[in-house]
Amino acid sequence: MIIMKFTEITSLQNPKIKQLLKLRDRSCRDDTGLFLIEGYRELLRAVTGGQEIISLFFSPTHFLGSNEEWLLYRALDGGAELFSCSKDVFEKASYRDRPDGLMAVAKQKSLTLKELENAMGASPLFVVAEGIEKPGNLGTILRSADGVGADGVIVCDKCTDLFNPNVVRASVGTLFTQRVCEATSLETIAWLKSKGIAIVAATPSATLEYTSMDMTKPVAIAVGTEQLGLSELWLREADIAVSIPMCGVADSLNVATATTILLYEALRQRKCP
């Protein structure tokens, strides 16, 4: 047992816990530039992905594994303050049905287009997510972008904020390891065009099927809102528009599902050209 310095919390009235609960609201996240990370897997990826942790709350009775102590040590080492919570306090502060004893307050961080550029490969593959409303969808898009090893995700004209607890959760922490950028649609379009990256608009109205296009060249797959799809701007500025065949009665797939299909087709083509 490594000796670690921490403060004990036994009351929900503790101001640190009150702040933790407030961070569930977007207004508090926007005002403070902070956000919540809950869960071992998510925190592990945050810590290893270089995410700055301000404070880490833990409840040993909820720990499921044996590496939690190592994680606490890593966070402490990175400058986080540690708080040991009583079982009761942790359960009430937790965002989950089955808490695993770890929750943190961290500093929001996303990249600029310039930073994205510095890290991109020879034939980059990007996702552009325009105006996504549901945190779960944005999180799933991040998870799939991680799955195919994409060069980054650009969130345009955001509706849900990237740091919503459900984005963190649905992304299973890939939010912290993926290159994520927030920008306006106009900036993003200008940047993609200047870099010679083809904009592929995913839209049910396209006649070209996604499997018929060459995705081995530099591409940005653009997807739009759950209700209306991509805006006129993106449809107009796209180099090519593709659709996913729908052979049944439904006329479209969920936006995160559609993005995943396109990303994995790009990966397939890139692996077996």
Q: Which residues bind a copy of itself (CB under 8 A)?
A: 45, 48-49, 140, 143-149, 172-174, 177-178, 211, 244-250, 253-254, 256-257, 260-261, 264-265, 267-268, 271-272
Nearest residue (CB) to a copy of itself, 29 versus 143: 143
CB nearer a copy of itself, residue 140 or residue 188: 140
Cα atoms in the Cβ-side hemisphere of radius 13 Å centred on 162: 25
CB 260 to a copy of itself: min, Å: 5
Q: How far is the CB of 102 from a copy of itself (least distance, A)?
A: 18
Tell me how far, at minimum, the Cβ of 159 lies from a copy of itself, in Å. 15
Q: How far is the CB of 256 from a copy of itself (least distance, A)?
A: 8
Strand order in the sheet with 180-183: 180-183, 152-156, 125-130, 219-223, 198-202, 240-242
User: For residues 45 and 62, which CB has a smaller minimum distance to a copy of itself in the complex?
Assistant: 45
Burial (Cβ within 10 Å: 0-12, 13-18, ≥19) of residue 29: buried
Tokens 């530099």 appear where?
A: 218
Q: Which is nearer to a copy of itself, 12 or 267 (CB)?
A: 267
Q: What is the DSSP string of 3-40?
A: ----EEE--TTSHHHHHHHHTTSHHHHHHHSEEEEESH
Compute the distance between CA of residue 126 and CA of residue 116 in angstroms, rounded to an integer: 10
Q: Minimal CA–CA distance to 256: which of 81, 137, 133? A: 137
Nearest approach in angstroms of CB 49 to a copy of itself is 8
User: Closer CB to a copy of itself, residue 31 or residue 133?
Assistant: 133
Provide the token pair at 5: 């310095």
